[in-house]
Amino acid sequence: MLFEYFIFGVAAFVMTGAQCEMTEVFAEAGSQAVLPCKCSSSYSYSPSIIWTKVNSGTVWRKQKSGLQHWGSSWYPKGLQRARCPHSQFERGDCSLEINNVREEDGGVYSCKVESGHKVTENVISLRIIKVSVSQSVAIWGTEVSVSCKVTPWPYGAGVQWMLNSSPFVPLTGIPSVEGVVKERATEKLTGNWTCMVGYKGKQGRASATLTVKGIIQPSKDNTKVYAAVGSEVTLPCVFSSGLIPSSSAWEKLKPGSGFNKPAPGRLPASFSPSSPSTQPSLDNSASLREVGFEDEGRYRCSGIVEGQRLTRNIQLVVAKIESSITSKKKGSMALICKLTDTSEVTDYEWVHVVYDNNGTQSFESIQKGKTLSISKVSEENRGEWTCRFSGKEGILGNVTYQVQLMSGLSGQKSSSLSHNTAAVVGLSILLVVLLLILVQMYKNHQRRKRIFQYPALETIVHTTSNEREERERNREKK
C-alpha cells in the first residue's frame, strides 16, 4: 500500500514536471469560466477526477464509483457554482465550469485524472478581469477613473482600452498606473469601456459602462450659433435628464477676456431667458428677439448640479449684407455677405428668391463667393437676395437682402442725376448766349475804333459833300 502511494507520488511528480506549462484562462467577473482539462476517452472504466484550487482545497471530485463531492465554498446554499458535465467525459473532456466568477476565484487550479495506475494532471491559471468606474454616472468636468483589475495580475501583460469598440486615446493624459484611465469627464467618455489584456498569447476582456451628465446641448464649449441681423435667435442650454440645476444664469462675456477669468458684460436689451431662474428646469435656453450686429460675442450659460458648477460658452455670430455701389462698372452694385466670425465658414452661396404671380417661392442659385455683383437697374434682380454660408458640416445659416428697395433708391438717384444734367445744359446755353453777346459787343467796339482811326478822311468826305450841296443850291438859284 505504502509502495503504491510512493509510485503514485513519483508518477504525479513526473506528470507535473512534464506539464510545467500552465494553461492561461481569462474570465470577466460575473461570467462563466471554463477551465479546460483533457481526460482520455480510452478508459475502460470510469476514471476518478479531482479538481482542486491550489492553496484552497478541493473544488469538485468524482470517485470511481461515480460519487460526487463539492468543496464547501463551491456549493453554497445548495447552488452548485462549479460543475463538470458528465456528458462530456466520453469525448475526453473533463473541463470544469464555474458560474458567476468572482475576483477571489482567480488562481491556479489543477485537474487530476486517475485511471488505474495512470494519473494525468492539467494545471490552469484562472485570471478574473474586472472593469470598474469611479462612478457610473459622472458629472461633466469631474475627474473619473476607469480601472481594469486582473486577479492575479499577469506581470508583463499588455493592457489596452477600447471605448465604444474603438481604441481609446487618452485625452488629458493625467498620469495613472497601469490599467487605470483617469480623465476629466466629458461626453466623449460616455459609453462602453472595454479592457483588453493580452498575456502569453491569450486574450481576455471585460467591460463597464460610464455615463457622463451635464449640459447636453450644445455638447461642446464655444459652439457657434449663427443669426442674421434683425432675426430672432435661440441660444441653447439644455441639461441631461435628471440633472436640474439649482441656480442657472446667463451672462455675456466681454470680448478679449481670457479663457479662465472672463469678465461678464451686459446682456443685450432684447435678451430673454426662456424660463425664469426661480423655476428650475432642464432647459435653460435663452433667446434674443432681434439680433443686432453688436450683439455678437460669447455668452455663458451656467447652473449648479450636485455642488458642481457647470458652464457652457456659446458664441453668437451675426451676419449681415452690406451693399455698395461699385465705381468700376456703371449701374451695378455689390452685395457683401459679412459675418462677425468667419472661422468656420468655407463657402458662400447667393440665392435669388423669386415669387411668381401665385406667391410661390422659388430659389435660384446664382453664384458662389462672398461678394455678389448685380445690375441695379435690371428688373430681374428685384426681390430677395439671400447669402447662404456653409461650413464643413453643411449650411450654417443665411441672411437676406431686399433689392426692391434698392432699385427705388437708385431710381431716385437717376432722376436727381437728370435734374443735374438739365441744370448743366441750361447753364451752358446761358454761357453760350453770354459769349455771343460779348462777341457782338467786341465787334461793335472794333468797328467804331476803325472809323476813329481816319478822322481827316471823314472831314474831307464831309467838306466834299458840303461843297457838293452848296453847288447844287447855287444851280437851283440860277
Ligand X SMILES: *[C@@H]1O[C@H](CO)[C@@H](O)[C@H](O)[C@H]1NC(C)=O
Of 52 and 194, which CB lies nearer to ligand X in the complex structure? 194
> Taking the complex as a whole, how short is the minimal distance between the CB of residue 398 and ligand X, in angstroms?
4
Strand 215-217 vs strand 238-239: parallel, antiparallel, or unpaired? antiparallel
- Whether 301 and 315 have beta carbons less than 8 Å apart is answered as no
Strand 23-28 vs strand 118-133: parallel, antiparallel, or unpaired? parallel
Strand 233-235 vs strand 166-167: parallel, antiparallel, or unpaired? unpaired
Of 65 and 360, which CB lies nearer to ligand X in the complex structure? 360
> Taking the complex as a whole, how short is the minimal distance between the CB of residue 231 and ligand X, in angstroms?
8
Of 94 and 396, which CB lies nearer to ligand X in the complex structure? 396
Listed as own residue / partner, the contacts of 189-193 with beta carbons closer than 8 Å and 24 or more positions apart are 189/138, 189/144, 189/163, 191/163, 191/164, 192/163, 192/164, 192/165, 193/131, 193/133, 193/146, 193/161, 193/162, 193/163, 193/168
Of 93 and 384, which CB lies nearer to ligand X in the complex structure? 384
R_g of the chain, CA atoms, integer Å: 51
Of 15 and 353, which CB lies nearer to ligand X in the complex structure? 353
> Taking the complex as a whole, how short is the minimal distance between the CB of residue 34 and ligand X, in angstroms?
17
Alpha-carbon distance 267 to 76, whole Å? 67
| Dihedral angle, C-alpha 390, 391, 393, 396, nearest 10 ° | -40
Of 223 and 326, which CB lies nearer to ligand X in the complex structure? 223
Alpha-carbon distance 326 to 334, whole Å? 6
All three cell numbers of 158, joined, read: 499588455
> Taking the complex as a whole, how short is the minimal distance between the CB of residue 97 and ligand X, in angstroms?
20
Of 156, 154, 62, 157, give the one whose Cα is nearest residue 114: 62
> Taking the complex as a whole, how short is the minimal distance between the CB of residue 275 and ligand X, in angstroms?
24
> Taking the complex as a whole, how short is the minimal distance between the CB of residue 394 and ligand X, in angstroms?
12
- Whether 410 and 324 have beta carbons less than 8 Å apart is answered as no
19: buried, middle or exposed (CB in 10 Å: 19+, 13-18, 0-12)? middle
> Taking the complex as a whole, how short is the minimal distance between the CB of residue 192 and ligand X, in angstroms?
4
Site for ligand X, rule CB under 6 A: 165, 192, 194, 207, 209, 351, 353, 356, 358, 360, 363, 386, 388, 398
Alpha-carbon distance 227 to 401, whole Å? 14
Alpha-carbon distance 255 to 107, whole Å? 62
> Taking the complex as a whole, how short is the minimal distance between the CB of residue 298 and ligand X, in angstroms?
23
> Taking the complex as a whole, how short is the minimal distance between the CB of residue 129 and ligand X, in angstroms?
12
Partnered with residue 388 across adjacent β-strands are 349, 398
> Taking the complex as a whole, how short is the minimal distance between the CB of residue 352 and ligand X, in angstroms?
9
Alpha-carbon distance 319 to 342, whole Å? 10
Partnered with residue 123 across adjacent β-strands are 110
Of 194 and 407, which CB lies nearer to ligand X in the complex structure? 194
At 446, the amino acid letter reads Q
Of 240, 236, 261, 239, give the one whose Cα is nearest residue 250: 236
> Taking the complex as a whole, how short is the minimal distance between the CB of residue 153 and ligand X, in angstroms?
21
Alpha-carbon distance 477 to 470, whole Å? 11
Sign of CA dihedral 11, 16, 17, 21: positive
Of 63 and 285, which CB lies nearer to ligand X in the complex structure? 285
Of 135 and 444, which CB lies nearer to ligand X in the complex structure? 135
Of 167 and 256, which CB lies nearer to ligand X in the complex structure? 167
Would you say how long the chain is, in residues?
478
| Residue 467, CA distances (Å) to 284, 461, 462, 473, 477 in order | 126, 10, 9, 10, 15
Of 82 and 225, which CB lies nearer to ligand X in the complex structure? 225
Strand 264-265 vs strand 271-273: parallel, antiparallel, or unpaired? unpaired
